[in-house]
Amino acid sequence: MADRIYLSSPHMSDEGYEMQYVQEAFETNWIAPLGENVNEFEKEFAKKVGSKAAAALSSGTAAIHLALKAAGVGEGDIVFCQSLTFSASANPIIYQNATPVFIDSDINTWNMCPKALEEAFKKYPNVKAVIAVHLYGLTADMDKIVELCKKHNVVLIEDAAESLGAYYKGKHTGTIGDYGVFSFNGNKIITTSGGGMLVSDNKERIEKVKFWATQSRDHARHYQHSELGYNYRLSNVLAGIGRGQLKVLEDRVEKKKYIFEFYKENLRDIDSIKFMPINDWVDSNYWLSCITVSGKVKPLDIIKALEKENIESRPLWKPMHLQPYFEKYDYVGGNTAETLFETGVCLPSDTKMTDGDLRRVVKSIRNLW
């Protein structure tokens, strides 16, 4: 059988940047959730995205959780959350004993629909926070979302887990709202195997997040805790991997864009295939190249055809309001999120793919037509 083609797998730098920093951690014996790599990774990351402060955490989920806590979200509070997303966007709302209300997507962005958001504000005027997601390296229509959040004096959290390296009107995703969340999971554009980052221009809140993430240990000789804490700090070893990966972010974005353009060029004559929308305002990171299909060929047909050739693909995210755990919560909007889920496919977008790999994918898809 031909070699496996992955959807999006870890890709360490050819230069070995990661090992240099990891080696430093070993040589200095800082094998802990503290250390030089953690401190420098936070500084380097904040500078890269254009934010004033950053906290390196154990996951993007932990970052959303502590962003909600920093925003003052607590028991009984309402949080608006994009429905078309991964469950990690919504789970932390439950951690805080708050109540999610799910918002539909805009077909022109695949992300939170400003009209549905406005409708939700009318229905729930006392909402505490909004979680907007930038799926697949696309961006939401942020001007309208920011305007609505400011009008209602609501904290805006950007889930930029999939959009590191993407820009909205020249501003890095994750730095437009009050808090920005990033993920370094193994399938992301850069990885630390597991890890995340929370950024904000509010330095005081980020310092508080670091305190909570280190078990809320008070400044005392003995172990004293006046607040509930969490074990959420990133390992110094993994932060070393992150520092090395950050050096090749632009290279990864360039390759992701190449993959997207290759698919677009080689599948453009098939009228029933439409590519994810790249709006004028976005410089995407093209994390995953996604399509929607219509007509006789269904998404599952494509996924199965690729599976036979040892090629990994997957459907678009199943909306949260359709998930067994979350279906009891309210949903505002139409059927855009549901339609995207039913018609969409994520194509292999691994930055180690060769042109030969890309041709294999294209051939398998074209054979269905």
Residue 139 has pLDDT above 90, yes or no: yes
| pLDDT tens string 155-171 | 999 999 999 999 999 99
Residue 33 has pLDDT above 90, yes or no: no
- How far apart CA 305 and CA 182 sit, in angstroms, is 33
| pLDDT tens string 50-81 | 999 999 999 999 999 999 999 999 999 999 99
CA-angle at 56, arms to 23 and 50, nearest 5°? 105
Q: What is the DSSP string of 6-74?
A: -SS-----TT-HHHHHHHHHHHTT--SS-SHHHHHHHHHHHHHHT-SEEEEES-HHHHHHHHHHHTT--
Percent of the chain clearing pLDDT 70 (strictly above) = 100
Instruction: Enter the DSSP assignment of 235.
Output: P
pTM for this prediction: 0.97
| pLDDT tens string 262-308 | 999 999 999 999 999 999 999 999 999 999 999 999 999 999 999 99
| Local confidence band at 32 (pLDDT 50, 70, 90 cut-offs) | confident
Rg (CA), the chain: 21
Alpha helices in 133-235 (DSSP H): 142-151, 203-213
Quick one: how far is CA 289 from the chain centroid?
15
pLDDT at position 227, please?
94
